[in-house]
A and B are shown apart, each in its own frame.
Chain A
Amino acid sequence: MNLDKILKVVERPSRYIGNEFNSVHKDLNGINIRFGFCFADVYEIGMSHLGMKILYHLLNSAEDIYCERFFTPWVDMEEQMRKNNIPLFSLETKTPARDFDFLGFTLQYEMSYTNILNMLDLGGIPLRSDERDDSYPIICAGGPCAYNPEPLAPFVDLFMMGEGEEVMMEVMDLYRTMKAEGKTKDEFLAEVVKIEGIYVPKFYDVEYNEDGTIKSFTKNYDAAPDTVKKRIIKDFDKCFAPDNIIVPFMEVVHDRIMLEIFRGCIRGCRFCQAGMIYRPVRERSPETLLSLAERLIKNTGYEEISLSSLSTSDYTRLKELTDGLLDLTEEQKISLSLPSLRLDNFSMELMQKVQKVRKSGLTFAPEAGTQRLRDVINKNITEEDLTNAAQMAFNGGYGTIKLYFMIGLPTETNDDIAGIAHLADEVVSIYKHTPNEIRNKNLRVTVSVSSFVPKPFTPFQWVAQNTKDEIFTKQMFLKEQINNRYVSYNWHDSALSILEGIVARGDRKLADAIEAAFKNGARFDSWHEHFRPDVWYKAFEQAEINPDFYNTRERDYEEILPWDFIDVGVSKKFLISESEKSKRGETTKNCREGCSGCGVMQAFGGGLCG
């Protein structure tokens, strides 16, 4: 495929060339399975994603599997490709998508779904499973959004639930055998569904009540499981972790080594999907991590290393790990970044060591403005925690503080919103009481407010999302409340959060609307400059779908939810109990203070929650 003609006219052509250091090149003669790993966004976003790096190298560790990468071509490239009849091609060998055995999409955010359809379309692949014969690749998907697979059910042949490291190779082994035997796609799907964690949508039928809710969700094939249980890695310390990740030519969003220190989260914030679906907490030992870090530094030449987890401070052996990493990085002039640290004496000391000279800003996420609402969402930090942290930051010479909040949380009142402004004022007043000699000369407090989106498998999966008008009214109310020259206030257009809310809790019927939106021209919806709500609302009309049904409707506990057939480990009973506790404003202890009985222990056997 000669791409020179079009690469010379598009922006950032290095998005499309491949050949980066550590990218994998294989002799196609020895290959039995060609797997196209697809990330439905541009190169620089996709290449920042740790999961892709893991699965790319895991798949390529098998001699007869060749995993190559696909990203969504940016709009200028799409235009050129369509004009010149160039199909979607892989980065490694520039092979058309159609020629692969599998195309596997990682579902990281709902607003990438139209890009998935666009990628299939650019590959000359019919969008719907039932329109694809055996000559087309098997379309599979996984990742966090796969926990509600239904809006994509008609497009995807099979979903993998849970951690790809665990299930991927079993699927490949089965495929290898069946391909050698000359079996058909249907025969393969009938067999692969017996592997735990695999969901094949066509083996299930959905019936609806008159009000649009689900009447029944039943399998039409005996061997398909009644509930699809997610897969997890039991021994995370011993699990596969690549030490030779690809080093992109262009600057990608997370252009550094990411060291995944643990999976899962002990906190149990009720709005947070990641905190529920990635349970149980499993750590890697400092020994494993230091050895991995050393190899990664050597094999990539990266100048920065970052810890990756949902909450760095909850890593039990953080001091040991950071001491070891500091030795490693200081010697080699590599910078170390420590995201999502809780501010306490230890972390302040640590940050002084790491940053040495530059005092960049600090970020806190109280999420809600009053203690009452923080209890409702189980964000277990108090106003005192925040004021102590702010005092520590100002004593340490920091002058820029960012505060993250959400509006539209369940039970929220104007008092809670006004509380956001009060907290910001409080931070300013702490600064003013900090002695001149030690505090930073400049103060800047930024209040950044996003709109809450209820997600499946959280205690808030039943609640109504605020309407556009409600959100707007709240945003404006907060604006009036903030009257402090040191405080700046950021908020976002709610249209995107609302659409995300619709798709996140969507069912199979919604697939028609997603397809219509794509056909109406929706692309890169998560990119502000390309998001066009009108295109989506037209699509809802075309598909005869009332979007309010999905986001502004409160569900009751008895309703069959589209994702109920999936077992993420955390039980529905636990989610209901958390939902009830939230209504009473009761908090739940974190996993280390006391087991809350979320169900993950029973699901995967004891002794796992680290």
Chain B
Amino acid sequence: MAKFRLQFTKYGDMKYVSHLDLIRLFTRIFHRADLPLCYSEGFNPHPKMSVLLPLSVGFESACEYIDVEFRDGVGMLDCMKKLKGQLPLGMEIPQITQLNETSKKAKAIRYASYEFRFPAPITQEQVDEFMALSSVEVIKKTKRSEGLADIRADIMDMYVTDDGVLRAVISAGSEANLKADLFVTALEKYIPDFCAGDYSVLRTGILDERGISMM
């Protein structure tokens, strides 16, 4: 038995493939690639794999992770080679690593980095003013309730590139999680005259507490 972490991308129309569909998609990719999956015990065995941090439908990503267990004899190079030609357009697997006891677990995730492209670009001044705020309150919905929450502490850093792209690092993972669209709602609420419009989102990284990737 060997456990691997695969980094994968969701570009283009792959952004419309939901989390559940993604699991099914990977099962079939591994079947086609002739990589023998390990299954759970029980009446209804399912393949042992998990996506580290689910991504909302409609967002692209350069950096997603899935952990998967294969039966004996599967090596990293083998894995890379076999997956070639089995991926749908928009999905690539740039990196694979074999996991061991010291590997980072999903619960080590603290932050995610994003790129936002707005039809009417945001300016560095607007961003600086926003970052100077001591509290940022938005309506946060959970499964059970809905209430005002201060998300200022969940916004670590952001800046505008020369191309007018907003790059931001915000909380992610099991301890504190800020959804990218809620973050944009906050920008709209607190930055005067800013309208997000028909924007697009690209996740660029999933990071641990030191800001290091999960690989």
Residues of A within 8 A of B (CB): 4-5, 7-8, 13-14, 17-21, 247, 249-251, 297-303, 332-333, 357-358
Q: Which residues of B contact A300 (CB under 8 A)?
A: 28, 31-32
Cβ A21 vs Cβ B28 within 8 A: yes
Is the pair B16, A17 in contact by a Cβ cutoff of 8 Å? yes
Q: A301: which of B12, B21, B27, B44 is its contact (CB, 8 Å)?
A: B27
Contact B88 A19, beta carbon cutoff 8 Å: yes
Interchain CA distance A301-B25 in the complex, whole Å: 9
| Distance (whole angstroms) from the CB of B115 to the closest CB of chain A | 16
Inter-chain CB contacts under 8 Å: number: 65
Cα A357 to Cα B41 in complex, Å, equals 12
Q: Is chain A's interface secondary structure helix, strand, loop, or mixed overall?
A: loop
Q: Which residue of A lies closest to B33 (CB)?
A: A301
How many Å lie between the Cα of A418 and that of B64 in the bound state? 61
Task: Tell me if B143 counts as interface (CB < 8 A to partner A).
Answer: no
User: What chain A residues lie within 8 Å of B20 (beta carbons)?
Assistant: 251
Q: How far is it, in angstroms, between the C-alpha of A125 and the C-alpha of B58 when the chains are bound?
A: 31
**A14 to chain B: which residues have CB within 8 Å?**
16-18, 21
In the complex with contacts A7-B16, A17-B16, A19-B13, A302-B28 CB distance below 8 A: yes
**In the complex, which residues of chain B have a beta carbon less than 8 angstroms from the beta carbon of A303?**
27-28, 31
CB-CB under 8 A from A21, the residues of chain B are: 28, 32, 86, 88
A249 touches B57 (CB 8 A): no
Contact A251 B88 (CB under 8 A): no
B39 nearest CB neighbor, chain A only: A333
| CB pair A249 B25 closer than 8 Å | yes
**Contact at B17–A249, with CB atoms within 8 Å?**
yes
**CB–CB A357/B16 < 8 A:** no
Contacts of A299 in B (CB 8 A): 32
| One of B13, B18, B33 near A18 (C-beta < 8 A) | B13
The answer on a CB contact under 8 Å between B43 and A357 is yes
Measured in the bound complex, the distance between the Cα atoms of B45 and A358 in whole Å is 12
Bound-state Cα–Cα, A460 to B57, Å: 50
Q: Which 6 residue pairs are nearest across A and B when measured between Cβ atoms?
A: A301-B28, A301-B31, A301-B32, A17-B13, A13-B16, A14-B16
The residue that B198 contacts in the complex, of A5, A18, A333, A357, with Cβ under 8 A, is A5
Partner of A19, one of B24, B31, B43, B89: B89
Bound Cα distance from A350 to B15, whole angstroms: 42
- Point out the residues of chain A lying under 8 angstroms from B58, CB to CB: 7-8, 13
**Is B29 located at the chain interface by the 8 A CB criterion?**
yes
Task: Confirm or deny: B30 has a beta carbon within 8 angstroms of a beta carbon on chain A.
Answer: yes
CB distance from B24 to the nearest CB of A (A): 7
Whether A247 lies near B28 (C-beta < 8 A) is yes
Q: Whole-angstrom distance between the alpha carbons of A7 and B15 in the complex?
A: 10
A298 and B28 form a contact (CB under 8 A): no
Chain B: CB-nearest residue to A9: B58
Let me know if B90 is at the binding interface, CB within 8 A: yes
Q: List 19 A-B contacts (CB under 8 A).
A: A4-B198, A8-B58, A14-B17, A17-B13, A19-B89, A20-B88, A21-B88, A249-B21, A250-B18, A298-B32, A301-B28, A301-B31, A301-B32, A301-B33, A302-B28, A302-B31, A303-B31, A333-B39, A358-B43
In the assembled complex, B161 has its CB within 8 A of some CB on chain A: no
**Which residues of chain B from 122 to 180 have a CB within 8 Å of any chain A CB?**
none
B30 close to A301 (CB less than 8 A): yes
Partner of B24, one of A8, A18, A251, A357: A251
Which residue of chain B has the shortest Cβ distance to A15 in the bound complex? B16
B200 within 8 A of A: yes
Bound CA span A5–B43, Å: 43
Across the two chains, which residue of chain B brings its CB closest to A358?
A: B43
Q: Which residue of B lies closest to A10 (CB)?
A: B16
Alpha-carbon separation in the docked complex, A357 to B16 (Å): 36
Chain A residues, Cβ within 8 Å of B198: 4-5, 8
Q: How far is the CA of A14 from the CA of B15 in the complex (A)?
A: 9
Which chain B residues in 48-103 approach chain A with CB under 8 Å? 57-58, 86, 88-90
By a CB distance below 8 angstroms, the chain A residues around B16 are 7, 13-14, 17, 249
Known contacts A4-B198, A251-B24; 14 further A-B pairs (Cβ under 8 A): A7-B16, A13-B16, A13-B58, A19-B90, A249-B17, A250-B17, A250-B18, A250-B21, A301-B31, A303-B27, A303-B31, A332-B31, A333-B39, A358-B43
Least CB distance from A187 to B in Å reads 40
List residues of chain A with CB within 8 A of the CB of B24. Answer: 251
Chain A residues within 8 Å of B31, by CB: 297, 300-303, 332
What distance in Å separates the Cβ of B49 from its nearest Cβ neighbour in chain A?
A: 13
With a cutoff of 8 Å between Cβ atoms, the chain A residues found around residue B37 in the complex are 333
* List of B residues within 8 angstroms of A18 by Cβ: 13
Q: How far is the CB of B88 from chain A (nearest CB, A)?
A: 6
